[in-house]
Amino acid sequence: MFDPAQVLTRLRARGAALARRGWGRRIAVVAKRAEDVVDLNHTGLVVATVFFALSVTPSLLPRDWLFQGLISGVNAALGYGVGCVLQWLFRKWIRPRLTIGGPPEWVRYVLKVAVVLTCALVAAYMLVLSADWQREITGLMDMEGTTRAAYLRTGGLSFAVGALVVAVFRTLRELVRFIARQLSRWVRVPPKLAPATGVLLLTILIVTLFNGVASRAFFAVANSAFSVRNNQTTQFAVQPTLPERSGSPQSLAKWETLGFEGRWFVSHGPDPMLISAVTGKPARQPIRVYVGLQSAPAATTEEDLAVAELQRTGAFDRKVLVITTTTGTGWVNSMSAAALEYMYGGDTAILASQYSYLPSVLSFLADRQKVAIAGKKMFDAVYRVWSARPPNARPKLLVYGESLGSQGSEAAFDGLADLRSKVDGALWVGPPNSNRLWQQFVSRRDPGTREVDPVYADGLVVRFAATATDLDKPSPDWRRPRIAYLMHPSDPIVWWSPDLLFSQPDWLSEPRGSDVSPQMRWSPVVTFWQVAADLTNAQGVSDGHGHNYGSLVLDGWAAVAAPPEWTPELREKIRTQIELAEDYERVIK
């Protein structure tokens, strides 16, 4: 039978023999001096190593060594904090109840040295494995992979970042102790309550600062910074002269008020000659209406101005009218707009409006309600005019939104029945996990279907697709009006959620998506930070992966609202043209 007391007796005897040789004491002296300088918590180090090891396991997207080092450093610091708390709990509640004594001092220090070396070896081994995993992910996405030597630099950067975070925490700890001493001295708070009171006061101060003053200051500075870019105009965006475009001399929305993205949107796109060259048929000049944040006069709302622009350009007399909800800066996917214009020979009108100066990530944090309100107001204003026309004199009404724009577009509808009663089709691309309608459809998917490729109600009305062929599943029976969601298994915008902190999602408990590493696993807290970090690189991968949907939007429009004369041959001609235009835009914009 295992006897702890007997084991300790033997350790002491063996320790005494080794101590007489001198090397044990020398290790103890060196270790003690190092510990006095670093003040290292070895339990925290062990847990930090576990967190680090988990953080370099595969996530949704590939990472270079620099990005991985930043993420792993933060994760290691979190693990260190957890380990410190565990050791404190052990010393306070468990150690006093143990009857056996501890090992000799020199044994404790030798064990501590062994822990440090073991943690370093484990970290290095995980980095070697991580480099292999990163190459696997880049292989799934047809990208160039990293090397083991390059990825080992992650360890040094992670250590530096983790040490910085721990140093900040220790500074805050000393601040709490200072506040506690002052409370005991000046306010006469009992010494036992003073530390807790200090923590409470500091927490209130920090939360108030960041939720109030700091957050307002940050978003004010960010808004001001991005508004500067909004006022800029690239040399390749030229004011249109055609009356079918906002920003033209005839337009109610003046050129200088459209913002950076708006000016680009109305000054580009296929003209009738180019459309005819691709389709082989006569074409009309497509209508593009855009309303910027500064476009509406003081007594006019943006939605009223948008409706007036649609009426001025004759948009309600076209075959198709699309209400596009933009991303944070007012960006419109040029491939999506051009695809529809080619499909319908230019007999289209596309409306878009700006609701923020901030990019989508910052808009998601600061303006999520703004995009929902703006999306609903814009749709309702257009719908009132559209629905007042005779049914045979209305254009086909479609809605489109990408990323945060899909959330604003969804907000215009109470549910599926309301959506189907008002529109002739909806295409939503890369929807955030917090989208209300998307959540309803995915959570109520048919039994046996995966979260990454769900089937809702046999696909009769709503379908989800990562590729063009997915739009044909599960059967040819897809009733109109059709609703389609385009979403990649590797798109972090689709799969990131606060629930990842402590709950394993279905998409990580079920078989992985086609471009997600089978080695990816869920871990509490760590996976949340991994996928959150992926958000910043969502578009840094090749088309067909992450948040890059490329010409898949053409297939989405063809599935939702193809014209009667639609053919596979015409689709490929349009695909070639919009991909060439996209390559050109990436170079000059």
456-492 residue pLDDT tens: 999 999 999 999 999 998 888 999 999 999 999 999 9
**How far is residue 342 from each of residues 29, 283, 324, 329, 571, measured CA to CA in Å?**
78, 9, 17, 26, 9
Q: Which helix (H) or strand (E) holds 504?
A: none
Nearest CA among 126, 179, 186, 191 for reference residue 152: 126
Query: Do 369 and 444 reside in the same domain of the chain?
Result: yes
Cα separation of 545 and 538, whole Å?
A: 9
138-165 mean pLDDT: 85
Q: What is the pLDDT of residue 584?
A: 87
Query: Do 43 and 95 reside in the same domain of the chain?
Result: yes
> Looking at 165, 188, 211, which one is the last position of a domain?
188
Q: Are the C-beta atoms of 553 and 406 separated by less than 8 Å?
A: no
324-350 mean pLDDT: 95
pLDDT confidence of 213, banded at 50, 70, 90?
A: low
> Looking at 188, 222, 242, which one is the last position of a domain?
188
Q: What is the pLDDT of residue 1?
A: 46
Query: Do 318 and 453 reside in the same domain of the chain?
Result: yes
Q: CB-based contacts of 330: which residues, under 8 Å, 6+ apart?
A: 230, 259, 260, 261, 262, 290, 292, 293, 352, 353, 354, 355, 356
DSSP 357: S
Query: Do 383 and 441 reside in the same domain of the chain?
Result: yes
Residue 359 has pLDDT above 90, yes or no: no
Residue 537 has pLDDT above 50, yes or no: yes
Residue 208, φ and ψ in degrees, nearest 5: -60, -40
DSSP 29-58: HHHHHHHHHH---HHHHHHHHHHHHHHTS-
Query: Can you give the pTM of this predicted structure?
Result: 0.84
Q: Which two tokens stand for residue 126?
A: 């995980």
Q: Is residue 129 part of a domain?
A: yes
Residue 96 has pLDDT above 90, yes or no: no
Cα separation of 440 and 434, whole Å?
A: 10
Cα separation of 354 and 336, whole Å?
A: 17
Q: Which two tokens stand for residue 96?
A: 């006093």
Q: Is residue 148 part of a domain?
A: yes
Q: What is the pLDDT of residue 415?
A: 95
Q: Is residue 539 part of a domain?
A: no
Query: Do 394 and 445 reside in the same domain of the chain?
Result: yes
Q: Are the C-beta atoms of 470 and 415 separated by less than 8 Å?
A: no
253-279 mean pLDDT: 95
Q: What is the pLDDT of residue 2?
A: 44
189-217 mean pLDDT: 61
DSSP 393-419: G-PEEEEEEETHHHHHHHTT-SSHHHH
Summarize pLDDT for 277-329 with one digit per residue, the tens. Answer: 999 999 999 999 999 989 998 888 999 999 999 999 999 999 999 999 998 78
226-241 mean pLDDT: 77
Query: Do 163 and 52 reside in the same domain of the chain?
Result: yes
Where does residue 317 fall: left (phi above 0), alpha (psi -120 to 50 degrees), or beta otherwise? alpha
pLDDT confidence of 455, banded at 50, 70, 90?
A: very high
Q: Are the C-beta atoms of 313 and 287 separated by less than 8 Å?
A: yes
DSSP 250: T
Q: Is residue 139 part of a domain?
A: yes
Q: Which residues pair with 353 in a beta bridge?
A: 291, 325
188-204 mean pLDDT: 66
Q: Is residue 401 part of a domain?
A: yes
Query: Do 355 and 428 reside in the same domain of the chain?
Result: yes
| Terminal Cα-to-Cα distance of the chain (whole angstroms) | 76
Q: Is residue 505 part of a domain?
A: no
**Cis peptide bond upstream of 474, omega within 30:** yes
Query: Do 145 and 285 reside in the same domain of the chain?
Result: no
Q: Is residue 506 part of a domain?
A: no
Look at residue 88 and give its three-state secondary structure.
helix
Look at residue 356 and give its three-state secondary structure.
coil
Q: Are the C-beta atoms of 289 and 318 separated by less than 8 Å?
A: no
Amino acid at 38: V
Q: CB-based contacts of 448: which residues, under 8 Å, 6+ apart?
A: none
Q: What is the pLDDT of residue 358?
A: 67
Q: Is residue 527 part of a domain?
A: no
Q: Which two tokens stand for residue 235?
A: 């040399």
**How far is residue 519 from each of residues 80, 220, 273, 583, measured CA to CA in Å?**
25, 41, 51, 34
Nearest CA among 60, 48, 131 for reference residue 536: 60
Computed over every residue of the chain, the mean pLDDT equals 86
Query: Do 320 and 467 reside in the same domain of the chain?
Result: yes
Nearest CA among 573, 581, 579, 583 for reference residue 276: 573
Summarize pLDDT for 104-116 with one digit per residue, the tens. Answer: 776 777 788 888 9
Q: What is the pLDDT of residue 189?
A: 67
Q: Which of 28-37, 243-252, 514-523 has the lowest mean pLDDT?
A: 28-37
pLDDT confidence of 167, banded at 50, 70, 90?
A: confident
Q: What is the pLDDT of residue 398?
A: 98
Query: Do 423 and 558 reside in the same domain of the chain?
Result: yes
Where does residue 478 fall: left (phi above 0), alpha (psi -120 to 50 degrees), or beta otherwise? beta
Domain that holds residue 319: 231-488+549-588
Tally of domains within the chain = 2
134-158 mean pLDDT: 85
Cα separation of 356 and 366, whole Å?
A: 10
> Looking at 135, 166, 188, which one is the last position of a domain?
188
Q: Which of 187-201, 204-218, 380-394, 492-506 has the lowest mean pLDDT?
A: 204-218
Residue 523, φ and ψ in degrees, nearest 5: -135, 140
Query: Do 317 and 436 reside in the same domain of the chain?
Result: yes
Query: Do 570 and 437 reside in the same domain of the chain?
Result: yes
Summarize pLDDT for 361-414 with one digit per residue, the tens. Answer: 666 655 667 888 999 999 999 999 999 999 999 999 999 999 999 999 999 999
436-441 mean pLDDT: 96
Summarize pLDDT for 32-75 with one digit per residue, the tens. Answer: 555 555 568 889 999 999 999 999 999 999 988 888 998 899 88
